[in-house]
Amino acid sequence: MWHLKGKKVLITGGTKGIGKAAVIKMLLLGASILFTARNSEEVKVFKMN
């Protein structure tokens, strides 16, 4: 299994669908994540889960 430790990843649309799945997978692989969403409420809900 490979890892992304020390890597930085930018994901657009990170609170729904494929973007959300990508955020979760990249976090599990050790990457630092920056993601965008259409509104801040979606980000708050994502952070709580």
Euclidean distance between CA atoms 22 and 40, whole angstroms: 19
pLDDT digits (tens, 9 = 90+) for 15-44: 999 999 999 999 999 999 999 999 888 888
d(CA 1, CA 18): 21
Higher pLDDT, 47 or 18: 18
CA–CA distance, 41 with 3 (Å, rounded to integer): 30
Say how far apart CA 30 and CA 40 lie, in whole Å: 24
Instruction: Kindly tell me if the per-residue pLDDT of 48 is higher than 80.
Output: no
Q: Give the pLDDT score at 1.
A: 72
Please give the single-letter amino acid code of residue 46.
F
Q: Structure tokens of 29?
A: 């692989």
Tokens of 28: 């599990």
